[in-house]
Amino acid sequence: MSDPNLDELAAELAEFAEPEKKGGRPPREERIIAGFEEIQRFVEKHGCAPQHGEGRDIFERLYAVRLDRLRALDECRAILAPLDRQGLLSGAKIAAAPTETIDEDELMTELAGAAGDSGITELRHVRASSEKRAAEEVANRTVCEDFDSFKPLFERVQREMKEGVRRSLPVDRMDQIKLADIQQGQFFIVGGQIAYVAEVGETFKTGDERWDSRLRVIYDNGTESNPLARSFQRSLYPDKENAGRIITNPDAGPLFADEQDADDLASGTIYVLRSKSDNPIVAANREVLHKIGVTGGRVETRIVNASLDPTFLLADAEIVATYILYNVNRVKLENLIHRVFDPAQLDIEIKDRFGNPVKPREWFLVPLFVIDEVVKRIKDGSITQFVYDPAAAKLVKIAS
């Protein structure tokens, strides 16, 4: 489980701020008891006391910090001793744990309130863990002594991004970046800087039985760092201010495929339809008249009400071809396809259900094999060298 923002965590634990009244006890004692009872429920569920450790659930780590605080304060021990059926206050030591990444002193100050006026579980003014990790990451960077050997790589990537050969895709969900994506030779954007994974060390198991590895990451400002792969992964997670981005690899494979690879980011589907309209113009050109569009959903859902939609010529339509696409902006792609086939756009006007004239814009008089060729040339980048000749019904290379 990835560590949540501590401010979000405070909201999750806010239920302890107003515990159920217990026989007229002072509010301070009620808060102490409520916090201790939560630890007891954890022990009942898991069969052991909560422990520290970076790889452990953030709630368990907070309970461990809280238990340490309750043990250390005589006042708390006196209040809780009659309730301690599990012997949690007896001084039995919690198993030794890996180094914590959250500052326990800071957490204890904000948590327990036993030494002050705040509630046992109240969190205030705690800096988000993502902010602390980002600050630590920058602080741990050093000058890259052999940056001259990496500088041409950054220049090439920047050039290819400008030319559209590569794209930077925003990370918009927590599970989008997998450890398998963090490979040698891959580029990312972290904190506004291009990051290059120069080396991936041998994998090893951490104290919580998870696989990890040490990286060498070079940044375009001439610095480098050696984070663990999982730490680097977390630095790419989206936040409100500076989300990470993935820079696509031009050699990563086709943009269009019949099957999605495990790590691909699906963007949508190009669909090619034929109309079943009995309109004389449509009927006379049915084999070469196609509607070409791009959708982020299921094509079958897109055409379910075609007979009621002027966009579909107020008639049912059949799907004649689809191309699944990955890592592509759907709107820009659809606009590109329509520009290529603009000379062959169908010029037709029909009446909608209310008698209003409508001119559909996505129908083109173009053979299916030409559409297939256009998709292939968009995939390999050569489409910029061709235009569609409606008289010859084929793509024609632009004279150089």
Q: What is the mean pLDDT of the chain?
A: 76
The pLDDT assigned to 366 comes to 94
Return the minimum-mean-pLDDT range out of 221-225, 229-233, 328-332, 335-339: 328-332
For residue 103, name the pLDDT band (cuts at 50, 70, 90): very low
Tokens 């052991």 map to which residue? 48
Answer yes or no: do 176 and 203 share one domain: yes
Q: Exposed e or buried b for every residue in 140-173, given b needs 16+ CB within 10 A?
A: ebeebeebeebeebbeebeebbeeeebeebebee
Rounded to 5 degrees, φ, ψ at 337 are -60, -45
Written as six digits, the tokens of 393 are 């019904």
Evaluate whether residue 1 is within a structural domain. Answer: no
pLDDT digits 0-9 by tens, 46-63: 888 888 876 677 778 888
The pLDDT assigned to 368 comes to 93
pTM (two decimals): 0.39
Residue 313 has pLDDT above 70, yes or no: yes
Last residue within a domain, chosen from 104, 127, 150? 127
Coil, helix or strand at residue 382: helix
Residue 21 has pLDDT above 50, yes or no: no
Rounded to 5 degrees, φ, ψ at 246 are -100, 130
Answer yes or no: do 200 and 268 share one domain: no
Residue 126 has pLDDT above 70, yes or no: no
Whole-angstrom CA distances from 186 to 142, 179, 350 are 20, 12, 52
For residue 93, name the pLDDT band (cuts at 50, 70, 90): very low
Answer yes or no: do 345 and 319 share one domain: yes
Report, as an integer, the average pLDDT of 323-342.
Answer: 79
Answer yes or no: do 284 and 177 share one domain: no
For residue 267, name the pLDDT band (cuts at 50, 70, 90): low
How many other β-carbons are positioned within 10 Å of the β-carbon of residue 393? Answer: 14
Answer yes or no: do 193 and 325 share one domain: no
Coil, helix or strand at residue 91: coil
Task: Please give the tally of structural domains in the chain.
Answer: 3
Question: Domain limits at 172?
Answer: 132-247
Question: Minimal CA–CA distance to 360: which of 298, 293, 300, 304?
Answer: 293
Answer yes or no: do 301 and 392 share one domain: yes
The pLDDT assigned to 354 comes to 78
DSSP H or E segment with residue 74: helix 74-80
Sequence-distant contacts of 388-395: CB under 8 A, at least 24 apart: 388/340, 388/341, 388/343, 388/344, 389/343, 390/343, 390/344, 390/365, 390/366, 393/288, 393/366, 393/367, 394/370, 395/370
Q: Which amino acid is at 1?
A: M
Quick one: CA torsion of 76, 78, 81, 83, rounded to 10 degrees? -70
Answer yes or no: do 197 and 274 share one domain: no
Answer yes or no: do 292 and 385 share one domain: yes
The pLDDT assigned to 35 comes to 86
